[in-house]
Amino acid sequence: MTTTEPILQLDHLVKQFPIKAGVLRRTVGQVHAVSDVSLDLFGEETLGVVGESGCGKTTLGRTLLRLIEPTSGTITFQGRDITHIGKAEMRAVRRDLQIVFQDPYASLNPRMSVREIVGEPLRIQGVDKGETRERVAEMLQAVGLLPEHGNRYPHEFSGGQRQRIGIARAITVHPKVLILDEPVSALDVSIQAQVLNLLEDLQERFELSMIFIAHDLSVVRHISDRVAVMYLGRVVELASRDTLYDAPAHPYTHSLLSAVPVPDPRAERTRQRIVLQGDVPSPASPPPGCHFHTRCPLATERCRTEVPLLVPIDGDTLHQVACHYPLQAGETLLERVSQVAVTR
Amino acid sequence: MSEPDAPLLEVSNLSVTFRTDAGPVRAVTELSMVVHAGETLAIVGESGSGKSVTALAIMRLHPKSATITGSITFEGGELLTLSDREMRHVRGNGIAMIFQDPMTALNPVFTIGDQIVEMIRAHRQTPKAMAWKQAAELLELVGVPEPARRAKQYPHEFSGGMRQRAMIAMAIANSPRVIIADEPTTALDVTIQAQVMEVIAAAQRETGAAVILITHDLGLVAGAGDRVQVMYGSRLFETGGLDDVFYRSANPYTKALLSSIPTLGSRAADRLTPIPGNPPSLLRPLPGCPFEPRCSWAIDICGEAMPDLRVVADGHSSRCHRADEVSVSGVDPHSATTASVPIAAGMPAHVAMPVSPVPEVLG
């Protein structure tokens, strides 16, 4: 299973997008998409990254492949700093770092046959034609398609099959790390399970390390070994899957989990749901201090001024939280809220 | 209003057919359903199952290329034979709709207040100043902060969740008897989704309206529905009370759907049980049951004859030749299905529909 050496390390990664305005297109502000994110991906593990829209999870995925250049921070792949290496070198590194995109309709070139699509990464890597043909057939089979599907074009396939093509394209160069950006959210419910199972099979067969980016907490729980929760560009909690879902420490994680509807009427009837007030603030002007303080029922003056760091809880280095007042194991946010109300 | 037990809305034998370049596509086939005052009926299905077209047909907002047969009665009166003018009176006043995407459903060049006021004054002779006051009250009811100021803003100045609240305010402006919510939270984040679902529930309590909740999310149904209708391949596949459908389902599709989705509660190491294959093409309907190619319960007759919707218990019906057997097999929706399902790998590619008239209409 997972190794103890990180295969990919992000150290204080920052990505800001300039906001330009006026005739001269002067920079008038910054969108803080990713703010100071440090994460390790271990060999053959699946790291889930969850968060709501605008939390920076997609930018994070693209930045660590350098499809978007980071503003600052470092990306280390297998012990080597790849943050500033040149284009040709980066191309060689991408053989080991591949990505599957969210929209299977937009991410496949409609004018290319499936064989050309799946074989393109091999062509870029300079693999000869005969081997490419063989490898493409093998990959199509690995993702549950038939070799003869190679002659067809994307429009002839359903959403689920297109996502299989996207996955085949990503693994055809035998990468070590696969970034999956919302790989099942565009698919029908009955098709999602097929693709999730496929990803699990491929991970085992090709010894892949995966970063699984999604907004669906149920899907992330299913597939991940560890999970990072992002809010407005920062990682607010990082823990092993079961710890995160059974004993979340950050008030945001807690309320996010309580907001997810579960397909079980009895559970829904007895559930205590915490409905967060307000919207996610704009990443162009994130609030000072803890980014979550504007919606947090526990926020104090300290939260409004002092940025909480992502630190281990009770010496458990596997469980890290960025909160001044983390919840204890087994404590619910509602209990804490009522406690706070009494003492105030 | 007629007698107290009479349904508010009754759909009988509704079929909706679209003319397309590739031939006729039947998006809804012989659908019957009733909605009672104050209840929430959830219609669940995947894309192309016919759930949204049903809603559009009830509102008579379907495109001209569609032909409708059957009957839709509201408070005892037939809707399909009403003139356009009479229908306009029903829309918004008797039956209102909340659309999936508030950005396209709201007019970008008018303020939110203008649009709510227009909605009120379309049905009531209310002086403008009074209507503006009502608009602010409605916005307050749906949880828009500073309603008087926000009413003067344009849709682009609202966040997604706030836009959806504004849509709900418009929908309930004239206290409709039925609110149709078509995927009302699909475009929203979960924490905002929870807020919007609460607002819909509050609006329902406030107005006593019946809600038809159209969604693909079984979790939302479990939280909000009283009764459930499951649609597949343009037909009603199962209908019953919430617990009937979730805990005592008599339909293989419903069962397979429930066991294919990962849930927060399920032990994560469990492998998912996927439904093999793809949803059916409406262009080339099968002679038998549309779910037959994907069904682990299928027997010979399933490929030959369309099963009828049969009653398995009071208020609980299922479209399946083996409904009685299916209903007694296993109670827990999260336990694995009894029969082993062939793995999806290597399934022949059902070539996707070249044109998809239905989603475009819904756009």
pLDDT tens per residue, range A212-269: 999 999 999 999 999 999 999 999 999 999 999 999 999 999 999 988 888 999 988 8
Q: Average the pLDDT over B222-227 and give the result.
A: 94
What pLDDT band is residue B353 in, cutting at 50, 70 and 90? very low
Which residue of chain B has the CA closest to A217?
B264
Distance CA B131, CA B94 (A): 19
How confident is the model at residue B358, as a pLDDT? 34
Residue type for B112, please? I
A91 token code pair: 């191309």
Does the pLDDT value for residue A3 go beyond 90?
Answer: no
Comparing A39-43, B178-182, B269-273, the range with the smallest average pLDDT is B269-273
CB contact under 8 A, B190 and A260: yes
- Distance from C-alpha of A308 to C-alpha of A300, rounded to nearest angstrom: 12
Inter-chain contact A189–B260, Cβ cutoff 8 Å?
Answer: yes
Sequence-ordered list of residues with C-beta below 8 angstroms from that of A131, at least 6 positions apart, any chain: A122
Per-residue pLDDT, A343: 63
Contacts of B223 in chain A (CB under 8 A): 261-262, 265, 268, 271
pLDDT of residue A227: 97
More confident residue, B350 or B91: B91
A81 to chain B, closest Cα gap in Å? 34
Weakest mean pLDDT among A42-51, A325-334, B173-182: A325-334
pLDDT at B4 over 60: no
pLDDT tens digits along B64-81: 889 999 999 999 999 999
**Inter-residue contact A164 to A93 (CB < 8 Å):** no
Q: CA B218: distance to chain centroid? A: 12
Q: Would you call B349 and A145 a contact, using CB atoms and an 8 Å cutoff? A: yes
Please report residues of A whose CB lies closer than 8 A to that of B272: 193, 196-197, 222
Q: Is the ipTM of this complex over 0.90?
A: no
Whether A71 and A14 have beta carbons less than 8 Å apart is answered as: yes
Those of residues 318-337 in B touching chain A at CB distance below 8 A are 333-334
Question: Residue A5: its pLDDT value, please?
Answer: 81
Rg (CA), chain A: 21
Nearest in space to A169 (alpha carbons), one of A207, A102, A122, A111: A122
| Residue B128, min C-alpha distance to chain A (Å) | 30
**How many Å is the maximal CA-CA distance in chain B?**
67
- In the structure, what pLDDT confidence band is assigned to residue B342 with cuts at 50, 70 and 90? very low
Using a CB–CB cutoff of 8 Å, tell me whether A101 touches chain B.
Answer: no
Separation between Cα atoms, residue A202 and residue B192, nearest integer Å:
35
Mean pLDDT of chain A: 91
Closest residue on chain A to B273 (Cα):
A193
The mean pLDDT of A168-186, rounded to a whole number, is: 93
Closest-CA residue in chain B for A162?
Answer: B352
The CA distances from residue B323 to A9, B290, B291, B319, B338, in Å, are 54, 15, 13, 7, 14
Cβ–Cβ below 8 Å for A263 and B262:
no
A-chain CB neighbours of B333 within 8 Å are 263-264
Instruction: Point out the least confidently predicted range of A73-82, B173-182, B262-271.
Output: B262-271
- The pLDDT assigned to B145 comes to 86
Judging contacts by C-beta atoms under 8 Å, the chain B residues touching residue A280 are 189, 191
pLDDT (0 to 100) of residue B330: 60
Check CB contact of A316 with chain B, cutoff 8 Å: no
Distance CA A305, CA A288 (A): 6
Integer Cα distance of A20 and A41 in angstroms:
35
**How high is the pLDDT of residue A282?**
87
The Cα of B44 is separated from the nearest Cα of chain A by a number of Å equal to 11
Mean pLDDT of B215-238: 94
Are the beta carbons of B218 and A260 separated by less than 8 Å? no
